[in-house]
Structure 1
Amino acid sequence: MSTADDYEYAPLRIPPGTSRTAAATMLSLQVDVGGWELARLQLHADGTRKAILRRRARLSYLPMPVT
Structure 2
Amino acid sequence: MLDYSYMDIYLPRGTSRELARQTLTEHAQHGSWELDRLRLYPDGSRRVRLRRKVIRAVRTM
Task: Please indicate, yes or no, whether the TM-score normalized by the shorter chain is above 0.5.
Answer: yes
Structure 1 unaligned spans of 5+: 59-67
Which structure dedicates a bigger proportion of its chain to strand?
2
Higher helix share: 1
TM-score, normalization by structure 2: 0.82
**Equivalent residues, number:** 55
Aligned-residue CA RMSD (Å): 1.2
Determine which of 16, 20, 30 is the counterpart of 1:19.
16
Q: Larger Cα Rg: Structure 1 or Structure 2? A: 2
Q: What is the rounded CA distance, in whole Å, between the counterparts of 1:31 and 1:10 in structure 2?
A: 12
Could you list the structure 1 runs, at least 4 aligned residues long, displaced by more than 3 angstroms after superposition.
Answer: none
How far has the Cα of 1:15 moved from its partner?
Answer: 1.1
With normalisation by structure 1, the TM-score equals: 0.75
